[in-house]
Chains A and B, each alone.
Chain A
Amino acid sequence: MGTVVAVDDVSFDHESKETLALVGETGCGKSVIASSILKLLPDNANLSGEILYGDKDLLRLSERELANIRGQEISIIFQNPTLALNPVYRIGDQISELFRVHKRASSKESKAYVTSLLSRMGFKDPEHAFHMYPSQFSEGMNQRVLIALALALHPKIIIADEPTKGLDNQLKEEILKELMKIKGEKESSLFLITHDFDAARNIADRVALMYCGQIVEIALSQEFFDEPFHPYAWGLLKSLPLHGFSPIPGASPSMISPPEGCRFHPRCAERLEVCSHEIPEPIKKSGRIIRCFLYR
């Protein structure tokens, strides 16, 4: 069996109160980064390096210490919301369980809290939503429940893995607005994983662009969308409907045997001689981090 190097040589900082958007195409390793932050990968996954949260290295914490961090300090919003909710419990019970276990709240207190949370997540009749089962809700409704779950304990960091997947445009905007509002109130930071450029442009402070398991550019959101540095980013922006729909030539490489040298070089219009045999290291260039020989 082959080994997939899903994420390779990735390094980034996440400031407190900041919104960092990780963008990249499907299968480039975005979700793997999210799962490895909270050590949620299956047992056969190998993790090396360090993930510093304050002065703690999350990779070296015990399962018990991690349990205290998960949900209360760092929480995650998953894709596939319907699968992420337990089918045999009512929505309200699943959320209030959090307060009862972590905050030792009485069932009455937690119910009041949950209904207010649900109404903030756009449920017009939270009392009614409280008594529903996940199977009685649409995907979009469950997604909002999941966001409510992740925000319930006011974590310092919210990791959102495609939180607006499956929602229509209007709801998407509302949810993102609500997410940002709660984030602002509680002074948490948001790590948004998305392939939605609009969402990233609208709410992110900084953007990290990923290609084939590596981060190729990190820049302030404004600067990135005005003038991206990496050739992959040029290609991506050109492929947006707004800029003429012209796709990047070639296909995404296999993660089992990625191309030698720069991973983007087979599809890159600006490739140099070195690109095919040497791996570019990330370098700092006018406030950005960029992994490309053009800026050496």
Chain B
Amino acid sequence: MRKPALPRQNGSAQKKSLTSLLAVVLFLVFFILALCANIIAPHDPWERFDPYLPPSAEHWLGTNDLGHDILSELIYGSRVSLLVGLGAAVLATAIGLSVGLFSGYYKGVTDEILMGITDVFLMIPRIPLIILLAAFLKPSFWIIALVIGFLWWTSTARVVRSKSLQVSEMNFVLSSKCLGFSDMHIIFTDIFPNIIQIVIPKFMLTVAAAMITEASLSFLGLGDPSMKSWGMMINFAFTKGGLVNALWWWFIPPGLCITFFVYSVVLLGYSHEEKEQAALGIG
């Protein structure tokens, strides 16, 4: 069968596809930067040069108070920031997805209990709790990622639950039941693929939230000092006089990196949603 002809794209659709292309490019740039940091970075981020050098041909973004090359720090920092963001989001989405799927499919008591737990987690003031935990525990970026993951799953669970409530009432779920498939099989092979399109944008937004949280924590000095993330770099610039002396090459680039990466992730999420809506003929 031939593929159905696509309707002609109008101006706004083209603009939309342009922004989503931009988002993909930005995301890929950061991803490659993090993946190949050791190849791309001109220096080892812990190698010492003269401190407080302004940008030059040798050090494009100058050096910091300890003489570390800032550009190399920035490139290596993308690893930490992306890892925290993606790790936390994977954990949060996994928890939210399972809670939502089970309570939407089983309904009744299971639903009451799981949604009760979700309510409790929704009530926790998240940032203050993380600050508290980071202050008391040994600051390590794994712990930060874990804690963010354990706190940011609630809205995913809610969205997944309402959608899986809807999908589990559809006839093909009943017909799968009639063919003798187990509940687990039905949940993961029948219902899950039908809600994936709402999980993907949710995942992207969680990545963005986790990265911003990590940056704020690091800026407050509660980050992992041995792992230089973008947030940590701003914190160092702040505490070691970079801001006061207007050494813009020290604190502007990490801020821009955070902004652009979060922007690309959010745009990706939205463009996915828009594609879904276009496919359904709405929006």
Contact = CB atoms under 8 A, between A and B. Distances in A.
Interface of A: 38, 40, 43, 63-64, 67-72, 75-76, 78, 80, 83-89, 97-98, 101-102, 128, 132, 136, 146, 149-150, 153
Contact of A80 (B171, B181, B190): B171
A83 B171 contact: yes
Contacts of B108: 43
B180 A88 contact: no
B178 interface: yes
Contact of B193 (A78, A88, A132, A153): A88
Contacts of A68: 180
A70 B172 contact: no
Given A67-B181, A69-B180, A97 B171 contact: no
B171 A88 contact: no
A271 to B, nearest CB: 40
Contact of A85 (B107, B172, B181, B183): B172
Contacts of A78: 171, 174-175, 178
A51 to B, nearest CB: 15
B178 to A, nearest CB: 5
B117 interface: no
Contact-residue size bin, chain B (C-beta under 8 Å from the other chain): 20 to 34
Interface in B82-109: 107-108
A70 B182 CA distance: 11
B172 A86 contact: yes
A85 B175 contact: yes
Given A80-B171, A86-B190, A87-B194, A40 B177 contact: yes
B254 to A, nearest CB: 41
Interface string B179-212: 1111101000110011000000000000000000
Nearest to A42: B169
A87 B171 CA distance: 11
B170 A70 contact: no
Contact of A86 (B176, B177, B182): B176
B5 interface: no
Contacts of B182: 64, 67
Given A88-B194, A89-B193, A136-B1, A83 B180 contact: no
A64 B174 CA distance: 15
A78 B174 CA distance: 10
Nearest to B169: A42
A83 B181 contact: no
Nearest to B170: A83
Nearest to A70: B180
A220 B46 CA distance: 92
Nearest to A85: B172
Interface string B147-185: 000000000000000000000001110111111111101
A62 to B, nearest CB: 12
Nearest to A102: B180
A83 to B, nearest CB: 4
B175 A101 contact: no
Contacts of A38: 178
Contact of B181 (A43, A101, A146, A150): A101
A89 B107 CA distance: 25
12 contacts: A67-B181, A70-B178, A75-B178, A76-B175, A78-B178, A83-B171, A84-B174, A85-B172, A86-B172, A86-B176, A88-B194, A153-B180
Query: For B172, B181, B185, B193, which residue has the most chain A Cβ atoms within 10 angstroms?
Result: B172
Of all A-B residue pairs in the complex, the 6 with the closest CB atoms, nearest first, are: A71-B180, A71-B179, A83-B171, A70-B180, A84-B175, A86-B172
A36 B183 CA distance: 19
